[in-house]
C-alpha cells in the first residue's frame, strides 16, 4: 500500500458478487483506499482467485462462498467475516443476475433466481450486517442498482422489477438507519461493459466501465459526516 492514501484503513468492507466485473473493481478501489475487504460469490474458485489477485496488489483481501439469496448462507458468511476480519462498516450489495424474456414467457424458477439474487439478496445481507453497524453507530450500505430501475424495456420484466425494488428498499433503509449514523445509498449505472452484460454491437470506448462505478463508491464512502448522497445516476458521456 506504499504511496497510496488510505482513508479507509480502519474499515471492514463486504462486497457481494465481488469476483469479477463491477464488484471486483469496487473491491479493488476500497482495498486501495485501505479497507480490509471480503468478497463473496457462488464459485469458490473464482472468489479465491479474485481475492488472491487483490492480495498480490498489496490489498488486505479474502474471499468466501455465499449465496446471497439464502438466509442461512448469508448468516454463515457474515459470521465468518466478523470472526476473521471484524464487524463490517461498509457493505456493497452488488451481486446480480439477469434474465431477459417477456414476463409472460418466464418460468417461475427463472423469475425467482433474478429477484432472489438482485433484491432479496441485498435485503438479507443488509439485515445481517445492519446490527453490527448500529453497534458502531456508523456505516455505509451501498446498493448497486441500474437505470433499468427507472426505465422499462421489452424483455426486462424480472430485471427491471428487481432494480426498481432495490431502489425502494434503499430509500426505506436510509430512513430506518440514518438515526444510527448509517448512510444508505443506491447507484444506478447505465450500460456498463462487463462479462455479465457485453452489449454486442456497442462501442466499449463509449460505455461505462466497472472502474467508473467504483469511483462513485469511493466518493460515497468518503463523504463528510453530516450528509449523505441517497442516489446517483451514472451515465457515459457519449451514448454507445
Query: Is the residue at 123 inside a domain?
Result: yes
Say what the pLDDT of residue 22 is: 97
Query: Is the residue at 3 inside a domain?
Result: no
Strand partners, 36: 12
69-82 burial code (b ≥16 CB/10 A, e <16): beeebbeebbebbe
Query: Is the residue at 240 inside a domain?
Result: no
- Domain containing 133: what range? 12-234
Say what the pLDDT of residue 104 is: 96
3-state secondary structure of 156: strand
Is the whole-model pTM more than 0.85? Answer: yes
Question: Burial of 222 by CB count in 10 Å (0-12 exposed, 13-18 middle, 19+ buried)?
Answer: exposed
Query: Is the residue at 5 inside a domain?
Result: no
Domain count, the chain: 1
Q: What is the enclosing helix (H) or strand (E) of 214?
A: helix 210-220
Active site residue ranges: 159
The CATH number that applies at residue 52 is: 3.40.50.720
CB 234 within 8 A of CB 145: no
CA distance 16 to 88: 13
Say what the pLDDT of residue 3 is: 53
Say what the pLDDT of residue 240 is: 73
Say what the pLDDT of residue 206 is: 84
79 Cβ partners below 8 Å, 6+ apart? none
Query: Is the residue at 2 inside a domain?
Result: no
For the chain, 240 residues long, give each residue's pLDDT as a single digit of tens: 555 679 999 999 999 999 999 999 999 999 999 999 999 999 999 999 999 999 999 999 999 999 999 999 999 999 999 999 999 999 999 999 999 999 999 999 999 999 999 999 999 999 999 999 999 999 999 999 999 999 999 999 999 999 999 999 999 999 999 999 999 999 999 989 887 555 666 788 888 999 999 999 999 999 998 999 999 999 999 887
Q: What are the phi and psi torsion angles at 168 (to 5°)? A: -65, -45
Amino acid at each position: 500500500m506504499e504511496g497510496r492514501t488510505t482513508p479507509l484503513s480502519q474499515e471492514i468492507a463486504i462486497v457481494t458478487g465481488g469476483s469479477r466485473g463491477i464488484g471486483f473493481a469496487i473491491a479493488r478501489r476500497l482495498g486501495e483506499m485501505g479497507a480490509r475487504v471480503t468478497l463473496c460469490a457462488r464459485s469458490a474458485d473464482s472468489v479465491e482467485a479474485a481475492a488472491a489477485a487483490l492480495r498480490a496488489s498489496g490489498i488486505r483481501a479474502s474471499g468466501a462462498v455465499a449465496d446471497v439469496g439464502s438466509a442461512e448462507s448469508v448468516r454463515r458468511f457474515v459470521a465468518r467475516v466478523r470472526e476473521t476480519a471484524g464487524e463490517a462498516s461498509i457493505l456493497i450489495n452488488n451481486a446480480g443476475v439477469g434474465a431477459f424474456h417477456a414476463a409472460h414467457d418466464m418460468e417461475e424458477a427463472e423469475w425467482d433466481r433474478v429477484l432472489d439474487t438482485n433484491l432479496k439478496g441485498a435485503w438479507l445481507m443488509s439485515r445481517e450486517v445492519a446490527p453490527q453497524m448500529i453497534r458502531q453507530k456508523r456505516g455505509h450500505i451501498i446498493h448497486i442498482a441500474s437505470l433499468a430501475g427507472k426505465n422499462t424495456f421489452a424483455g426486462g420484466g424480472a430485471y427491471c422489477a428487481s432494480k426498481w425494488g432495490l431502489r425502494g428498499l434503499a430509500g426505506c433503509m436510509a430512513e430506518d438507519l440514518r438515526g444510527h449514523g448509517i448512510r444508505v445509498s443506491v447507484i444506478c449505472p447505465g450500460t456498463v461493459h462487463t462479462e455479465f452484460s457485453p452489449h454486442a454491437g456497442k462501442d466499449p470506448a463509449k460505455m461505462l466501465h466497472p472502474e467508473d462505478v467504483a469511483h462513485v463508491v469511493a466518493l460515497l464512502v468518503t463523504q463528510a459526516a453530516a450528509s449523505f448522497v441517497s442516489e446517483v445516476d451514472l451515465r457515459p458521456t457519449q451514448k454507445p
